[in-house]
């Protein structure tokens, strides 16, 4: 039962399904669920919600406790501060970290914790480095992912394209999304790897407007805090880490836990 729940997050499973599967009485299933619930909470794996009634059942919400999250994120910040990560333009090389399954599953669980209370239909990101983060979050929240392309590929069918101005370097760029990728009125969680002024995310928001879809939330892995706050294009987002200083000469950077840790104290 533990594995069945763990591999089906954000999915309502009826007691009848469990009773049939394990050929047990519903009463003993309930007792077992109570034990599992306790263990999940003790181990900081998340919450098990029980819904009573005929349409009822049990749903597993993967979450991460704030102490565990902070300890993991402090560790990630130290990795991000390695001097060899500093690239031209004040960017940080973090592609290698975004390829680590352990880090991705931790980050996915943090975003799933931050956005668990929201009503979301789909997770959106833009290629390329946001994709693993979006999918790691999607796996924890049982949500589909749509990927905004920076070009318009033949294999996607008809698409909507928009131009947007990257906020930090003021260049005009194009992004597009297949017409069939998103339903009207979808509630969308935007996930991306890095945000400076927020031009790319603002572009995704403009694209959502074209689809009559709604932004339910924005989560970024690292925000650059080197801007005056009036330069930021929008205010409502969750960041897991914040790059507060880059010294290009000495290649010294400072990375601290993001606003996630200010707002989401359990």
Q: Crossing angle for the helix pair 101-114 and 130-141, nearest 10 degrees?
A: 60
Question: How far apart are the C-alpha atoms of 66 and 40, rounded to whole Å?
Answer: 15
Interface pattern 209-248 for a second copy (x via CB under 8 A): ----------------------------------------
Q: Is 132 in the site for a second copy (CB under 8 A)?
A: yes
198, 168 Cβ separation under 8 angstroms: no
CB 181 within 8 A of CB 145: no
Let me know: does 240 contact 114? Beta carbons within 8 Å. Answer: no
Residues 137-176 that bind a second copy (CB under 8 A): 138-139, 142-147, 149, 153-157
Q: How far is the CB of 227 from a second copy (least distance, A)?
A: 18
Comparing CB distances to a second copy, the nearer of 158 and 236 is: 158
By CB under 8 A, residue 102 contacts a second copy: yes
Residues 109-128 that bind a second copy (CB under 8 A): 127-128
151 DSSP 8-state letter = S
x/- contact string, 8-47, with a second copy (CB under 8 A)? -----------------------------------x-x--
67 binds a second copy (CB under 8 A): no
Using CA atoms in the order 229, 232, 236, 242, what is the torsion angle rounded to 10 degrees? -70
Q: How many residues does the chain have?
A: 266
Task: Please say whether the beta carbons of 90 and 257 come within 8 A.
Answer: no
Which residue, 128 or 263, is less far from a second copy as judged by CB?
A: 128
Q: State the Cα–Cα distance between residues 133 and 143, nearest whole angstrom.
A: 13
List of residues contacting a second copy (CB under 8 A) = 2-3, 6-7, 43, 45, 87-89, 91-93, 95-96, 99-102, 104-105, 127-129, 131-132, 135-136, 138-139, 142-147, 149, 153-157, 178, 180-181, 194
């Amino acid at each position: 039962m533990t594995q069945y729940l763990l591999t089906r997050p954000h999915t309502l499973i009826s007691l009848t399904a469990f009773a049939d599967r394990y050929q047990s009485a519903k009463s003993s299933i309930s007792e077992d669920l109570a034990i599992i619930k306790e263990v999940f909470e003790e181990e900081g794996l998340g919450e098990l919600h029980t819904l009573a009634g005929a349409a009822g059942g049990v749903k597993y919400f993967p979450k991460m406790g704030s102490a565990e999250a902070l300890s993991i994120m402090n560790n990630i910040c130290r990795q991000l501060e390695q001097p060899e990560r500093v690239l031209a333009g004040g960017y940080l090389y973090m592609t290698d970290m975004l390829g680590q399954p352990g880090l991705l599953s931790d980050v996915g669980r943090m975003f799933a914790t931050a956005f668990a209370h929201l009503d979301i239909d789909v997770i959106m990101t833009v290629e390329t480095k946001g994709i693993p983060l979006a999918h790691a979050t999607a796996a924890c929240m049982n949500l589909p992912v749509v990927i905004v392309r920076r070009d318009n590929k033949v294999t996607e069918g008809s698409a909507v394209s928009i131009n947007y101005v990257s906020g930090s370097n003021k260049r005009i760029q194009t992004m597009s999304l297949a017409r069939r990728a998103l339903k009207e009125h979808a509630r969308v969680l935007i996930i991306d790897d890095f945000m400076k002024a927020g031009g790319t995310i603002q572009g995704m928001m403009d694209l959502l407007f074209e689809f009559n879809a709604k932004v339910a939330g924005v989560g970024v892995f690292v925000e650059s805090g080197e801007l005056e706050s009036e330069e930021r294009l929008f205010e409502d987002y969750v960041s897991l880490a914040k790059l507060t200083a880059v010294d290009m000469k000495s290649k010294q950077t400072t990375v601290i836990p993001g606003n996630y840790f200010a707002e989401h104290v359990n």
